[in-house]
Amino acid sequence: MNIRMWSLLLFMFLYAVASAQTTNRYLDTPLPSSWEEGGEVFQQMLPVNDQWWKSFGDQTLDSLIAIAIDQNYSVLTAIDRMNMAKANLRMERSSFFPSLGINAGWTKQQTSGTISELPQSTQHYYDATLNMNWELDLFGSIRQRVKAQKETFAASKEEYTAVMVSLSAQVASAYINLRELQQELQVVEKNCASQAAVLKITEVRFNTGLVSKLDVAQAKSVYYSTKASIPQLESGINQYVNTLAVLLGMYPQEIRPSLERIGDLPDYMEPISIGLPADLLMRRPDIRSAERQVNAQAALVGASKSDWLPQVFLKGAIGFSSKDFKDMSNHKSFTYEIAPSLTWTIFSGGKLMNATKLAKAQLDESINQFNQTVLTAIQETENAMTSYSNSIKEIVALREVRNQGQETLTLSLDLYKQGLTPFQNVLDAQRSLLSYENQLVQARGNSLLQLIALYQALGGGWNN
According to the 3-state scheme, what is the secondary structure of 128-158? EEEEEEEEECCCCHHHHHHHHHHHHHHHHHH
Q: What is the pLDDT of residue 173?
A: 94
Is 26:295 a contact under the CB 8 Å cutoff?
no
Total count of residues recorded for the chain: 464
Give per-residue pLDDT as tens, 90-129: 888 888 888 888 888 888 888 777 777 778 778 877 888 8
CATH topology for the 29-71+140-307+348-457 domain: Outer membrane efflux proteins (OEP) (1.20.1600)
Torsion of CA 88, 89, 90, 93, to 10 degrees: 120
Task: Yes or no: say if 6 and 299 are a contact pair by the CB < 8 Å rule.
Answer: no
Q: What is d(CA 82, CA 86) in angstroms, rounded to the nearest whole number?
A: 6
Render pLDDT for 352-409 as a digit per residue (tens, 0 to 9): 888 889 889 989 999 999 989 888 888 888 888 888 888 888 999 999 999 999 999 9
56: left (phi over 0), alpha (psi -120 to 50) or beta: alpha
Q: What is the mean pLDDT of each run of 10 residues along the chain (464 residues)?
A: 46 43 38 35 38 85 91 86 86 84 84 77 82 84 87 88 89 94 92 90 88 88 91 93 92 88 80 54 82 90 86 86 80 84 80 88 91 86 85 91 93 89 88 91 92 84 44
- CA distance linking residue 444 with residue 453, whole number of Å: 14
Distance separating alpha carbons of residues 359 and 148, to the nearest angstrom? 12
Query: Residue 308: what pLDDT?
Result: 85
How far is the CA of 266 from the CAs of 139, 176, 445, in angstroms?
Answer: 61, 8, 9
Q: How far is CA 389 from CA 151, 376, 377, 447, in A?
A: 38, 20, 18, 8
Domain boundaries of the chain, sorted by first residue:
29-71+140-307+348-457
pLDDT at 43: 33
Query: What was the pLDDT predicted at 87?
Result: 87
- What are the strands of the beta sheet with 121-136, ordered from one edge? 99-111, 121-136, 311-322, 334-343
